[in-house]
Amino acid sequence: MVQLVPGQHIHLVGIGGFGLSAIARVLLQQGYTISGSDRSKNELTAALVKEGATIYEGHAAANVQGAEMLVISSAVPPDHVEVLAAKRLGIPVYKRSDIIGALLSGYSGIAVAGTHGKTTTTAMVTQVLLAAGHDPSYIIGGVLRSSGHNAHVGSGQAFVIEADEYDYMFLGLQPQIAVLNNVEYDHPDFFKTPAAMTDAFRRFTERVPADGLLIACADNALAKQLAQEASARTLVTLYGSDDQDSLWSAGNFHITEDGQSAFDVVRAGKLLGTVRLQLPGKHNALNALAALVVADSQGIAFEQAAQALAAYQGTGRRFELRGELETPQGHIAVIDDYAHHPTAIKATLEAARARYAGRALWAVWQPHTYTRTQALLNEYATAFASADYVLVTDIYAAREAPIPGVNSAEVVIAMQHERVGYTPRLEDAIVALDKSVKAPAVVVVMSAGDAPHISAEFLARRRARSGQ
């Protein structure tokens, strides 16, 4: 395990991402000297500068001078200029998975894992614990709107953390409580087969101690299977909506008159009450149900937890309402979402359809990575059934080189949607929206890359013309 020394100078390469920026914030609050670098500065790095970090725009060997430890993001290759410089200077180099365990040392860890819903569930758990006065520490893969931060060091014993499977980050954790939302194949650039990914999640469940608790969603077959395997070595609680083995169940999903989502919660056959959420979708109801199970394990009453969830405002880019235009013909809502896996896209669009019934539904999608697009092409082809209109931009490469024959034009052909268009550049998508969207409508922009500004630009152009 990494040995952290108080006051140590730690340099983080890739500090502009949610993962390392959160770690940097925690380290700053714990009294470490922090520097970091990334290709460009952003809102996350600007906030870190205000909190005392030194941020370098661009990468150079000189950036690591004076550092006593280097922490790198999953996107940083072994031949990176700052990694090579650190090795020449004898500075130890660690991954996120190496340092994350050291950060949680001395805390009671609550780790949220799963292919989908990690950020929202982690944020919901955090919100409930904060409302109950537990003052947890937390690391979330998005900015919690109620606090304005993605990480914080609290005075309580609990440390809530989003447990990312990529690059085996979650195998650096030994949580007292683990939540397993679901297991579905993703990250084909790292996990070469579905079996390899499932095995990684199995190893994660094995990190929960004998006196710990594994909370798993029985609606997902693989999550339930791994939980049943783990039940021989630790306590397991199942939750869900469709499974008779679940101790905790959600049902009677509906939209209230004021537009909120609502569902009933049953524990061991007893109705506990109804939960209201500002976020739509059955998938978010299940995320909330997981948070209720965690709350119960911490001695928090159902009524108090439900009240906290009703006040939950979400995190950035998780069904985030960016604005709503008023026209004589009706309203146009514009939503940003992080969805980039077929299952997440399908759930997001179904939630939008339910929340904004009667409106034309526009989906704008920026595919994320060539390997994912290639591996899940058949699933993408059917994920957009709820949308009336679909715009597909070019693939966001992230850390990858192009794969011959894998491109968005081929994705559009495979989709066989009646109203799908290929808009290669982000600007093309903005122009198409501005020209074609008519009220009443809802526009959902889905991207894990650099497409979120589509929402802001579309809103700006329409407002400029209408004077709103």
To the query of whether residue 162 is one of the catalytic residues in this protein, the response is: yes
Active site residue 327: no
**Given 120, 121, 122, 162, the catalytic residue:** 162
pLDDT score for 263: 98
Tell which CATH architecture fits domain 104-310.
3-Layer(aba) Sandwich (3.40)
Pick the catalytic residue from 45, 82, 115, 118: 118
- Break the chain into its structural domains and give their ranges: 9-94, 104-310, 320-466
Looking at the DSSP bridge assignments, the partners of residue 441 are 332, 360
Same CATH topology for 104-310 and 320-466?
no
Please give the average pLDDT of every successive group of 10 residues along the chain, which has 468 residues.
91 97 98 97 96 98 98 95 98 95 95 98 99 98 94 98 98 98 98 98 99 98 99 98 93 92 97 98 98 99 99 96 96 98 98 96 98 98 98 96 97 94 98 98 97 96 85
Q: In the CATH hierarchy, which fold is given to the domain comprising 320-466?
A: Protein-Tyrosine Phosphatase; Chain A (3.90.190)
Contact between 293 and 305 under an 8 Å Cβ cutoff? The reply is no
Please tell me the predicted confidence (pLDDT) of residue 243: 83
438 is catalytic: no
pLDDT value, residue 213? 99
Which CATH number is 9-94 given?
Answer: 3.40.50.720
Q: What is the CA radius of gyration of the chain?
A: 22
Contacts of residue 122, defined as CB under 8 A and 6 or more positions apart, other chains included, come to: 112, 138, 139, 140, 141, 160, 161, 162
- Residue 430: C-alpha distances to residues 153, 392, 396, 440 (Å): 40, 11, 17, 18
Report how far Cα 392 is from the mean position of its chain's Cα atoms.
Answer: 22
Q: Please tell me which residue in 119, 234, 315, 343 is annotated as part of the active site.
A: 119
